[in-house]
Amino acid sequence: MKNVLLMVPRLWQGGHEAVCVQTARYLEEEANVSILIFDDYKIHYDITGLDVVNINVSAASGVLNKFINIYKRIKAVKKIKKEKNIDVTYSFGSSASIINVLSRVKDRIVVGFHGGIMLEDHFLTKLFCRKSDAVIAVSKEMTKTLKKNFGKKNAYCIYNPFDFDIIDKKSNEEVLDMPFSDSDRVIVTVGREDDQKGYWHLLKAFSMVRKVYDNARLLVIGSGDFTAYKKLCDDLKISDSVVFTGVKKNPFCYEKKASEYVLTSNHEGFPGALVEAMSLGIPVIATDCKTGPREILLSDRQQEKYKAKGRITRRIDGEYGILIPDLSHTPDFNAGNITQEEQNLASCMLELFEDEKLASKMAKAGKDHVEIYSKEHYVKNLKKVLGI
């Protein structure tokens, strides 16, 4: 069997960290797999039974220290690659990919683009394309950009994997601390505290929903202290209807109680939390951000129809969920400034509450559709690119 090295800075939180661990487990019977991390800060994921190598070179501040760090990491990684006789190294995220492409020994180098924001750093994207044997992107649009704008012929689209049996099983676990257990109008979203997630839009839109439905509730699941957002809740007078749960190892049992899922991000690679919500039979609303939601919510026919028009300017009822125009990327925590785009989002949220037929139709269609993102499809396609 081939010797495969999966490289990621940490195993704390985040989408590509989760995918890294999943990949290691999925390939266990196909190859000798090791995960290499830069430090072991707050390991969040279950790594029981996995071969995890920690080179213990944490991030540093200051330009000089950063360059010293890169040198230390390259030296340590080269040593590991030689010791383990690595045949192929697959890196997750920019900082891991820098070290991957600069530490080639005799291994095949594969770089993963798991976030659309990676493509905005043209210098690094050019470096990754030039120095790698192949790149993997998690959406068709990202793959197209890598081929067209950066000339990378060996760019492949492989969607992130999902084990829907496990998600379903976890969603049925008992919840002892479920907020708003007395409400049947719960909106949920999953993601860390980050301006990229556009949560100020969600809170303002929810404040308008709350005026119509006094029993409407909002659940935000993800890491962060959300200080500015909690202040915005106070200013909007919705603090009694919004809960920031923090990280949950099993978010699915909380999501399962929700009536709808809303994604307000301005950047995504491939929003896994959106797919997970759909697999639970929750109707969804998502922004037409770069990249991912359009591919997930629109049928192939709809994608073709809107392909030449750039980002959409009006709401589209996709085959598998509601797609709304991309929202402003500029954080705005002024409770007195509620924009037209936030009013439009609120209208969509209200419609899913009011139109049970539409909500039920989209929930069923979405649940059926996400089967194309199964782990079986992922493993089959990944083996081809990795050459194992």
Where residue 40 falls among pLDDT bands split at 50, 70, 90?
very high
Whether 211 and 245 map to the same domain: the answer is yes
Whether 177 and 116 map to the same domain: the answer is no
pLDDT higher than threshold 80 for residue 22: yes
Whether 89 and 169 map to the same domain: the answer is no
Where residue 308 falls among pLDDT bands split at 50, 70, 90?
low
pLDDT, average across residues 40-67: 93
pLDDT, average across residues 270-298: 94
Residue 379 maps to a domain: no
Where residue 270 falls among pLDDT bands split at 50, 70, 90?
confident
Whether 148 and 172 map to the same domain: the answer is no
Residue 385 maps to a domain: no
How far apart are alpha carbons 112 and 109 in whole angstroms? 10
pLDDT, average across residues 338-354: 98
Residue 226 maps to a domain: yes
How far apart are alpha carbons 302 and 319 in whole angstroms? 8
pLDDT of residue 384: 97
pLDDT of residue 23: 96
Q: Residue 147's Cα: distance from chain center in Å?
A: 22
Residue 384 maps to a domain: no
pLDDT of residue 176: 87
Whether 168 and 57 map to the same domain: the answer is no
Maximum CA extent, the chain: 64
pLDDT, average across residues 92-118: 94
pLDDT of residue 345: 98
pLDDT, average across residues 216-221: 98
Coil, strand or helix at 30: coil
Of 157, 191, 214, the domain-final residue: 157
Q: What percent of the chain stands above pLDDT 90?
A: 84
pLDDT higher than threshold 90 for residue 30: yes
Report the CATH number that the domain containing residue 241 is assigned in CATH.
3.40.50.2000
Tokens of 7: 């490289």
pLDDT of residue 36: 98
How far apart are alpha carbons 33 and 305 in whole angstroms? 42
Whether 76 and 209 map to the same domain: the answer is no
Whether 38 and 69 map to the same domain: the answer is yes
Residue 129 maps to a domain: yes
Q: What percent of the chain stands above pLDDT 70?
A: 99
- Of 166-170, 178-182, 184-188, the least confident: 178-182
pLDDT of residue 304: 85
Residues 309-336: tens digit of each pLDDT: 678 999 999 999 999 999 999 999 999 9
Residue 388 maps to a domain: no
Domain that holds residue 241: 164-372
- Burial pattern 132-167, b for ≥16 Cβ within 10 A else e, equals bbbbbbbbbbbbebbbeebebeebbbbbbbbbbeeb
Whether 218 and 333 map to the same domain: the answer is yes
Number of domains in the chain: 2
pLDDT of residue 217: 98
When the pLDDT of each residue in the chain is averaged and rounded to a whole number, the result is: 95
Whether 256 and 314 map to the same domain: the answer is yes
Whether 170 and 153 map to the same domain: the answer is no
pLDDT higher than threshold 70 for residue 123: yes
Integer angstrom CA distances of residue 145 from 114, 135, 139, 236, 380: 14, 12, 10, 40, 24
Whether 33 and 150 map to the same domain: the answer is yes
Where residue 367 falls among pLDDT bands split at 50, 70, 90?
very high
pLDDT, average across residues 294-301: 93
pLDDT higher than threshold 90 for residue 47: yes
Of 125, 140, 157, the domain-final residue: 157
Spatial CA neighbour of 183 closest among 206, 213, 221, 222: 213
Integer angstrom CA distances of residue 364 from 17, 120, 338, 346: 29, 35, 33, 22
